[in-house]
Amino acid sequence: MSDSKMKCPEHMEAKVDPENKSMEECLGKSLETLSSAFTASARRWELIVYPSLAAFILLAAYGFFLIFSLTQDVSRVATSMEKITTNMNQVSANMTQISDNMLVLTKVVDQQSIAMHNMVVSMQQMNQNMKVMNTSMGRMGYDMAVMNKNVSRPMSFMNSFMPW
């Protein structure tokens, strides 16, 4: 088939004689149709892509802001942790001192406990001695009563003879 004998699909639909129109015109029209379809398609994509690109830029800027804020917050946390570490060193030193004081206090309480035990033993001995003294005093009272009874009868008889 020669160039002039080829039929353009556009001409077939319009029922125009293909001999009058050349193949270049047909290709030109097809390219023009393709170009306009591509342009329309590009415009549709522009309606999607440009707002999406703007949203992406906005989200990227917001992400940068969040990362920047996080960096500042982490810096503040690090500074606070440094202060806490310093305070914890002081607390640790104080705890060591408290522990030493508790050891001294434990020794004192142990000594006091031993002293209290000795006092309890002494009090038990005193209690026992008081019982013995009470028994002795009771015997002395009994002996005095017996002696009084034994001495008072003859004395009252003898007193009647005495001049005073």
Give the domain ranges of the chain. Answer: 3-159
Q: What percent of the chain has pLDDT over 70?
A: 80
> Please, are residues 26 and 5 in contact by the beta-carbon 8 Å criterion?
no
What is the pTM assigned to this prediction?
Answer: 0.38
146: confidence class by pLDDT, cuts 50, 70, 90: confident
Distance of CA 126 to the CA centre of its chain: 59
pLDDT at residue 131, rounded to an integer: 95
Q: Residue 9: is its pLDDT beyond 70?
A: no
Lowest mean pLDDT among 9-23, 62-76, 109-123: 9-23
Please tell me the distance from the alpha carbon of residue 161 to that of residue 156, in angstroms, as a whole number: 9
Residue 144's alpha-carbon distances to 137, 139, 153, 154, in angstroms, are: 10, 8, 14, 16
Q: Residue 118: is its pLDDT beyond 70?
A: yes
SS3 of residue 8 by DSSP: coil
Please tell me the distance from the alpha carbon of residue 11 to that of residue 30, in angstroms, as a whole number: 11
Q: Residue 103: is its pLDDT beyond 90?
A: yes
Lowest mean pLDDT among 3-12, 48-57, 130-139: 3-12
Q: Residue 2: is its pLDDT beyond 50?
A: no
Between CA 79 and CA 88, with CA 82 as vertex, the angle to 5 degrees is: 145
Write down the residue that tokens 């949203």 correspond to.
55
Length of the chain: 164
Q: Residue 53: is its pLDDT beyond 50?
A: yes
Q: Residue 21: is its pLDDT beyond 90?
A: no
Count Cα neighbours of 153 within 13 Å in the Cβ-side half-sphere: 5
